[in-house]
Structure 1
Amino acid sequence: MYRFLLTPRWWGINLFVVLAIPFCVFMGTWQLGRFEDRVQSHEEAEKRPDPAARAAEPLDELLPVTTETSGRPAVATGTYSDQFLVPGRELDNRSGFYVLDLLRTDSGKALPVVRGWLPGTPGGTKVPAAPAGTVTVTGDLQASENTSSDGVDLRGGLPEGQLGMISAASLVNLVPYDVYDAWITLPEPEAGATGGLRPVPATAAQGSGLDLKAFQNLGYTGEWFVFAGFVLFMWFRLVRREAEAARDVELGLAADAD
């Protein structure tokens, strides 16, 4: 009754099942591993001392930004040059924008410095000017952003002087000098600063917390195992239907389709 399993058509079906099920199990296991890695990173991050409480170090000694150096106080010296406003940023459930100035260092590269946050929209709120002359700043180190605060990649389409996300990739075509692939946020208002600038707290390093992406990995794990079960279920169903058809032919209840 099951001799049909040896036909060329069923050889193809069987080969597909034999390959599909291990692949789905492998992908599900891989996604589960990604979720477990994020959980472990989150637990390790919680056990580490507060990065902001550690002693400040020169910027170049903390680069590139990793989960270990993210949030660490970094020191840089230079002069402020170009200023950009980063709209669509919230602080204490209020909408506003970041005030970002580029600090030209002695190396020739510029460090994006978020001097603070202001409520409202760019153009409708007066922005305090950056200090003149050579300044030394100490701020919490942050990795370059991949997307804007609302999850949308905004490399362009904004008015002149505004920036969708804080990254060297966004600034490379806006300024005629190199930019560090990192930025800092000042934990306290600058000495003598006026205009209501509020400090922007440092954010957790990407991949170190149980964010939406972590639970997406867990959801994908379930999906891959469901796919594996579905393939096996459909194979058994097809085999059963084929066996019933073969039995009907043998009993003369149906004509042989071949």
Structure 2
Amino acid sequence: MYRFLLTPRWWGINVFLLLAVPFCIFMGSWQLSRFEARVDDHRTAQAQVSEDRTEAPRPLADMLPVDKATSGKRVTATGRYATQLLVPDRTLDGRKGFYVLTLLRTDGGKALPVVRGWLPGTADAAAAPAPPAGEVTVTGALQASETPGDNGVSARGGLPAGQTAAISAASLVNVVPFDVYDAWVTLDRADSGMTAVPATAPAGTGLDLKAFQNLGYTGEWFVFAGFVVFMWFRLLRREVEFQRDAALGLLPEGEAGEPATGEEPATPAAPYDGASTPVR
């Protein structure tokens, strides 16, 4: 009954099954490994942020450029505060507010964006305390420039003067009349009654949309593998039923009018008009 499995048609179906199922399982396992790698990166990054808080600060110049190894490390920089800006629509501990961002002019002439703290409510320059005068030395966590649209960073434009949506050299270079470091620092201790902004893990190490896309693709590939196996068994069952019905001289429903396998259709009898010879 199963000799049909040796026909060219079923050879093709079987070869497709033997290739498709391992491929789907391989791709699903690969996507799962990508998700697990992102989870491990996230855990490692979170642990690194905690460890960085206890390390001794190092000079800013020694930690540039910012990468996954240096992001979150404590640094020190000396200079004089200059332009102050507000960064609206920033959430801290579930509350909406804004960052107070002040540019620190260092001895080299470049400016380092320093987040001096966070305040609740709508961004208001009058509510932001003025920066200390004279030369200061700041200590805080080093952070990479933000990218608008990523990790909750606003990408909207048209902000009032004195505000910026993202803390990045690309955004600030058009606001201040001096060069800006491609990095920023959030102070360990906020100034003047503000709340300190905690350091974040480096970009690409969080459980973001890409990580959950990997998890979704994992499920899709395993579903595809199961679907291929299901369709193979369904085709096999239909073929076995067809062969059994053909052996019993039955035609499967929907095949009426077609000849059974290996048989010619019977010639219909001519009508008889009562004479000795039928009319054809």
| TM-score calculated relative to the size of structure 1 | 0.75
Give the superposition deviation at 1:184: 0.8
Is the CA contact 1:142–1:183 (under 8 Å) kept in the aligned structure 2?
Answer: yes
Note if 1:50 corresponds to 2:51. Answer: yes
Question: Are residues 152 and 25 of structure 1, via their aligned partners in 2, closer, same or farther at CA, if it must alter by over 3 Å?
Answer: farther
Check whether the contact 1:112–1:183 (CA below 8 A) recurs between aligned residues: yes
Instruction: Give, in whole Å, the separation in 2 of the partners of 1:14 and 1:171.
Output: 62
The one-letter code matched in structure 1 to 2:183 is: A
Query: Please, which of 229, 233, 236 is the counterpart of residue 230 of structure 2?
Result: 233
For CA contacts below 8 A with separation 6 or more, give which structure has more relative contact order: 1
Q: Does 1:180 align with 2:181?
A: yes
Alignment match, 1:29: 29
Deviation at 1:22, TM superposition (A): 4.2
The aligned residue for residue 102 of structure 1 is 103
Gaps of 5+ in 2: 261-280
Equivalent residue of 1:2, what SS? helix
**SS of alignment partner, residue 126 of structure 1:** coil
Q: Which moved more, 1:109-118 or 1:246-255?
A: 246-255
- Aligned residues of 1:89 and 1:149 also touching (Cα < 8 A): no
Partners of 2:5 and 2:11 within 8 A in 1: no
SS in 2 for 1:130: coil
Is 1:76 the counterpart of 2:77? The answer is yes
CA distance in 1, matches of 2:239, 2:174: 64
Q: 2:202 aligns with which of 201, 205, 211?
A: 205
The CA deviation at 1:161 is: 2.9
Matched, 1:223 2:225: no
d(CA) in 2 for partners of 1:46 and 1:152?
Answer: 20
**Gapped runs of 5+ residues in structure 1?**
none
> d(CA) in 1 for partners of 2:223 and 2:45?
33
Contact 2:113/2:184 (<8 A) preserved: yes
Map of 1:164 onto structure 2: 165
The structure having more radius of gyration, on CA atoms, is: 2
Q: Secondary structure at the match of 2:234?
A: helix
In structure 2, how many angstroms separate the alpha carbons of the residues matched to 1:174 and 1:231? Answer: 58
Q: CA deviation at 1:43?
A: 4.8
Number of residue pairs the alignment of both structures matches: 252
Aligned residue in 2 for 1:120: 121
Structure 1 residue 154: Cα displacement: 0.8
Distance verdict in 2 for CA 1:100–1:2, change over 3 Å: farther
Which residue of the partner structure matches residue 88 of structure 2? 87
The more displaced of 177-186 and 207-216 is 207-216
Deviation digits for residues 152-191 of structure 1 (CA, Å, limit 9, x no counterpart): 651524333322232334335444554333211011234x
